[in-house]
Amino acid sequence: MSSTTFKAEKRLTDQVYVQIDCINEFALWDPNDQIASVIWTVEDGDVTVDDASNTITSCKTRVSGGTKLYSWHSVRATITCASGQVYTPLIEIQLVR
C-alpha cells in the first residue's frame, strides 16, 4: 500500500471526501496494526484539504477547490501506524464537468 495511487474525479465546485481504508493491509499483521496519525498534503494542483479525521483502520479528508477544468491534482496521506510503519498512498483527482 505504501506506493499505491488511487484515481478520483470531482467538479470544480464540489467539496468531496476521499478515504483510504487500511483494514486489509493491517489484517496481514499479528497483532493487527492500526493508524496512529495521518497528515494530508496537496502535492500538485490548487485544491485544498481540510476536515481530516481517522479511525484505527481508515482515514479521510475533504477536498475542495481547483480552478481549471480537466486539470489533475494530487493529494497524499502520510499514515503512521502504531507499529512504526509508514504508508504514503496518493490520490490523483481530475476536475470534471
> Is there a cis peptide before residue 31, judged by omega within 30 degrees of 0?
yes
Confirm if 43 and 90 have CB atoms less than 8 A apart.
yes
pTM for the complete prediction? 0.91
pLDDT band at 2 (very low <50, low <70, confident <90, very high): low
pLDDT band at 3 (very low <50, low <70, confident <90, very high): low
pLDDT in tens, 50-74: 999 999 999 999 999 999 999 999 9
Where in the chain are the domains? 5-96
Residue 17 φ/ψ, nearest 5 degrees = -95, 140
Mention the CATH class of domain 5-96.
mainly beta
Band of residue 4 on the pLDDT scale cut at 50, 70, 90:
confident
